Amino acid sequence: MRQLQLAKRTAGMGASAIREILKVVSQPGMISLAGGIPSPESFPLDLIEMLSRRVLDKYGASALQYDPTEGFGPLREALVDHLYAGGMTASSQEILVTSGSQGVLDALGMVLISKGDFVAVESPTYLGALQAFAPYGPRYVSLASDDAGLIPESLEAALHSHPIQFIYIVPTFQNPSGRTLSLARRKAVARLVQKYDVLLVEDDPYSALRYTGTALPAIKTMAPEHVVYVSTLSKVFAPGLRVGFCLAPALLRKWLVIVKQGIDLHTSTYCQALAAEYITGGHLRNHLPRIISLYKPRLAAMLSALERYFPAGFHWSRPEGGMFVWVQGPQGMDMDAAYQRAIEQKVAFVPGRHFFAADSQGLETMRLNFTMIDATDLEHAIKTLGRVMDIN
């Protein structure tokens, strides 16, 4: 075939700049702070054989059969307890299982976005959400954020000035910034979505990865009728199994099920059965502290190395969990040039501008991941980056 006729909407979909960066990162000898993925050491590899055997003993061929779009019954039941442990009350009927939380984001885009609709997002925001929504042609309204997360006044101004179709935020240990929305602001956001009768998508993949401090309630608990709560087992079990889920208001859930039918019929029955056994057998509860004890010293090592090695004029987030630290350099610095110098020194990160819906924002920022390498390599990487940044 000489010519491929693409759909008009395909033109709006660029290859992720981060995928390009990740290609560079796989060069030999590179220390990468660029990834956004869990450490393979965090996977409960030692449990998988036993869980697989249990799945086959308990469910037999039905674990390999087609299954309802809403999700595998025993997993939906198990997720009720999982959510309850995280401070949320839901019935299994309210839970929709999806192929990763990315699967929810795509379905939400398909159900909710007509070309040209306004979608409000944080700045910076999760790049994967921008990619999931892109085919449907939204226009983004960027909401201002600071160290305590999204600024409610900025949200109210956006709601006042634009007919916002929905708001998308990651309130806890955000990707890319590591920031967490304070309790007072969660309450303010809940009040605003109720006042303006607008839908909020609360994406929460990271709240279980808390290393210090106390847990904050989900916004879903404060405005249940206005919030779709989206989460995943990717960071607390294994991302390759692709098990995510959401709790959506009933009317929206109905439509999400209809579009999911067309997208993939249902999420892998076998993977859902593994996840069900992982939760009901108490394995998630037992394994989570192991993940936390792996990441906690890595975050501490990164923060202390930033303190020691980064030049004056740089500021960074001090998250209590998650996978990322966000660094803000001095106004006017060229982070892309710094990235090139860092690559020459065999250290990679992601320049922060890639995480903004609008162009020319975050030019002096960077995202640093701390889950993939140990404390010694982290210290070395941050020391190298400190030297690289000092040239500006």
Stretch that binds ligand PMP, among 100-108, 269-277, 288-296, 351-359 (CB under 6 A): 100-108
Nearer to ligand PMP, 111 or 338 (CB): 111
Shortest CB 169 distance to ligand PMP, Å: 10
User: CB 383 → ligand PMP: shortest distance, Å?
Assistant: 27
Provide, rounded to whole angstroms, the least separation between the CB of residue 244 and ligand PMP: 4
- Round to whole Å and give the CA distance between 270 and 330: 50
31 by DSSP, 3-state: which?
strand
Q: How many residues does the chain have?
A: 392
Whole-angstrom distance, CA of residue 86 vs CA of residue 94: 16
Angle between helices 269-280 and 283-309 in degrees, nearest 10: 90
Apex 386 CA angle, 381 and 389, nearest 5:
120
Residue list 238-297, contact with ligand PMP (CB under 6 A): 239, 244
Per-residue x/- track, 19-58, ligand PMP (CB under 6 A):
-----------------x----------------------
Which C-beta is closer to ligand PMP: that of 213 or that of 240? 240
CA 10 to chain centroid, in Å, comes to: 24
> C-beta of 125: minimal distance to ligand PMP in Å?
9
d(CA 377, CA 6): 44
Choices 86-94, 96-104, 269-277, 284-292 (CB under 6 A): range interacting with ligand PMP: 96-104
What does the per-residue mask of binding to ligand PMP show for 140-179, with x meaning CB under 6 A?
------------------------------x----x----
Q: Which residue is listed with tokens 């304070």?
A: 182
Number of residues that bind ligand PMP (CB under 6 A): 14
* Complex with ligand PMP: residue 238 or 389, whichever CB lies closer: 238
Nearest-CB residue for ligand PMP: 100
- Neighbouring CB atoms inside 10 A of 14's CB total 9
Among 102, 123, 145, 365, binds ligand PMP (CB under 6 A): 102
Write the interaction track for ligand PMP spanning residues 326-355; mark x where CB under 6 A is met and - where it is not: ------------------------------
Taking CB under 6 A as the rule, does residue 122 contact ligand PMP? no
Residue 101 or 269: the one with the smaller Cβ distance to ligand PMP is 101
Which CA distances in Å does 139 have to 7, 16, 194, 230? 19, 18, 23, 22
Burial class (CB in 10 A: 0-12, 13-18, 19+), 187: middle
The DSSP secondary-structure symbol of 129 reads H
Secondary structure (DSSP) of 293-332: HHHHHHHHHHHHHHHHHSPTT-EE---SBSSEEEEE--TT
Q: Out of 35, 38, 71, 100, which residue is the one contacting ligand PMP (CB under 6 A)?
A: 100
User: Applying CB under 6 A, which of residues 67, 70, 106, 203 lies at the interface with ligand PMP?
Assistant: 203
Do strands 365-369 and 31-32 pair parallel, antiparallel, or not at all (unpaired)?
Answer: unpaired
Sign of dihedral through CA atoms 219, 221, 223, 229? positive
Provide the minimum distance between the beta carbon of 107 and ligand PMP in the complex, in angstroms, as a whole number: 12
Binding positions for ligand PMP, rule: CB under 6 A:
36, 100-102, 126, 128, 170, 175, 203, 205, 232, 234, 239, 244
